[in-house]
Chains A and B, each alone.
Chain A
């Protein structure tokens, strides 16, 4: 029981960065914009957060810097993909390549340094519940923040006027425009939200998960999050579930080693990527269902008629 509780708690921690970045991408894709630059924005968030936290001595300043870095990167993307109506695939790839290079460049001086990252804060009473208490209510503050953001995103999409407008823009920008909606503004906001969330997710890695900076420390999480949104068929609840599922896959090798399983670390490290492919297969083999769930205008640039 003790072991299981610990595994579940570690799963939530490993799933949190995925949850954060995937929620951002979910909003972005619901507006019809596919941003493949998640990996680049996360890396920029990670390095900016670490640098700011190290120099200011404040983790909150680090978080703010990470979010701003993510938003800044996403606005570059938005300029290309929304304003200039460039190919979203190419622009997103460019953002990832650019972010990977820039973060390695900026972070070169921080390699090998460490900070005191976020630590666990137990919520009184709730954390005393057996198993669930330890898993959800005895974690670091960012885990609580991610759950709060999840709740906000879910309510926003389903229950608010803003969510309705966002979905309208994603399904049919022409119709939304005809109804007087500023499609480009909505898309800019959605992309920026995605950027901020990716920055936050990066900061989770460099300020909480492993409080240090190394080149390419996201290890493909930005890409996994993109698969996660497909897996979740663009629904927030399934994003939450999927994030923890992928989190479990990414710590499985630690668990197996803990249980005395003799296998090479490199082979086990493939697991999250294999699981991702497996999930994609399960979710995409029926193209009709994919078409049914995908925001209709996803990936298509919109140019307002004059």
Chain B
């Protein structure tokens, strides 16, 4: 009989093998799924994982989707290291997009190098305020941050819909709920000319570096780790849990807000209702898959960016529902958590009662 047994020390190998194992299991499940749907599984997996990134344009699109995921994930990493379960990246992202759009529409007749920084800053500050609400509710009113951040996500979405259907709606937009196009000075410059890839990816990579520095080299990163691992030890050491909570939430708000601001000033160029295909939620998977580590989240954000464009590719090439993206993401997280159990536990073969008796009998005979 199989038995789960606690390892004396957590397995470092398993800690890093688990994401790979989860990906393999997801691909196998995908293979079976394609077969069950009567589609060619090899073709399907090729369209999902390889075709989207087989040329420069495709790679640029990957970077384009990576940027918001990486930015959101960087902020969430800071929260999750301290075991603050902030699910609000989606809301921070939407408010970031909203704040930047409001500013960009105000400045639509201006030009100059200062316009873009002001627009981005508006988004970042807006999202930080949004994150501060959840932080304040947690530190001063003891509300569970999971529930408040989720509710704030829904409120942010409705706020964005209100603004795009109301105050910011382009009067000459043929009735479409969208803002006017931003001026060129409010748009992020392209990273690779001729593609849609913009400066947002650089922001994301910088954020990942900042996360690395924070946790590898700074005292506040150390404090966050301690709070996450042992709340009581942190209290004895005099690390202010409130202060750290505020810090983590504000960072998460700033990075996700920058992601939202970069999205409207980058590939979209105006405010539309469907700014986010769920980047803020997917970023949660990125953080877990990336082991809450700077290098890990870069790799994980690339993989999850691929699920977005792979899903679109399957829709076009094989007429499959676009929801395949969400399914892959869900499966991946699911397998990951299952594999993660084996970081702390190992499987041992427990000899059945019958076998052990037999062994004992043989041993007794040997002695005799």
Taking Cβ atoms with an 8 Å cutoff, the residues of A that contact B are 36, 76, 79-80, 83-87, 89-91, 93-95, 97-102, 104-105, 107-109, 215, 219-220, 223-224, 226-227, 230, 264, 266-267, 269-270, 273-274, 276-277, 280-281, 284-287, 290, 303
Contact = CB atoms under 8 A, between A and B. Distances in A.
Given A85-B341, A273-B151, A102 B143 contact: no
B106 to A, nearest CB: 21
5 contacts: A86-B341, A91-B337, A220-B150, A270-B158, A280-B143
Nearest to A111: B321
B324 interface: yes
A220 B311 CA distance: 24
A108 B322 CA distance: 9
B285 to A, nearest CB: 7
Contact of B158 (A79, A90, A98, A266): A266
A1 to B, nearest CB: 33
Given A97-B326, A99-B330, A284-B143, 16 more contacts: A84-B345, A86-B338, A94-B333, A94-B337, A97-B333, A101-B323, A101-B328, A104-B326, A220-B150, A220-B154, A227-B147, A227-B151, A230-B147, A264-B162, A266-B161, A281-B137
Interface string B129-159: 0000000010001111011101110110011
Contacts of A99: 330
Contact of B142 (A79, A100, A287): A287
A87 B325 CA distance: 25
A244 to B, nearest CB: 19
Contacts of A276: 147, 151
B141 A281 contact: yes
B272 to A, nearest CB: 15
A77 to B, nearest CB: 10
A98 B334 contact: yes
Contacts of B295: none
A95 to B, nearest CB: 8
Contact of A277 (B87, B148, B328): B148
Given A267-B162, A284-B142, A90 B288 contact: yes
Given A97-B281, A264-B166, A303-B6, A104 B323 contact: yes
B337 A80 contact: yes
B324 A105 contact: yes
A142 B322 CA distance: 33
B326 A100 contact: yes
A87 B146 CA distance: 14
A102 B330 contact: yes
B340 interface: yes
Contacts of A215: 323
Contacts of B341: 80, 84-86
B73 to A, nearest CB: 14
Given A86-B337, A277-B137, A100 B158 contact: no
Nearest to A84: B341
B280 to A, nearest CB: 12
Interface in B304-346: 321-331, 333-334, 336-338, 340-341, 344-345
Contact of A280 (B144, B162, B321, B344): B144
A95 B150 CA distance: 15
Contacts of B281: 97
A101 B85 contact: no
Given A85-B341, A86-B341, A105 B284 contact: no
Contacts of B328: 101
A76 B334 contact: yes
A101 B330 contact: yes
Contact of B162 (A86, A90, A266, A274): A266
Contact of B321 (A108, A223, A269, A303): A108
B165 interface: yes
Nearest to A97: B330
B284 A97 contact: yes
State the 10 A-B residue pairs at the shortest beta-carbon distance, nearest first.
A101-B326, A98-B330, A108-B321, A104-B323, A84-B341, A266-B162, A101-B330, A105-B323, A101-B327, A273-B151
A109 B151 CA distance: 30
A97 B289 CA distance: 14
A280 B337 contact: no
Contacts of B337: 80, 86-87, 90-91, 94
Interface string B327-368: 111110110111011001100000000000000000000000
A86 B147 contact: no
B338 A84 contact: yes
Contacts of B345: 84-85
B154 A80 contact: no
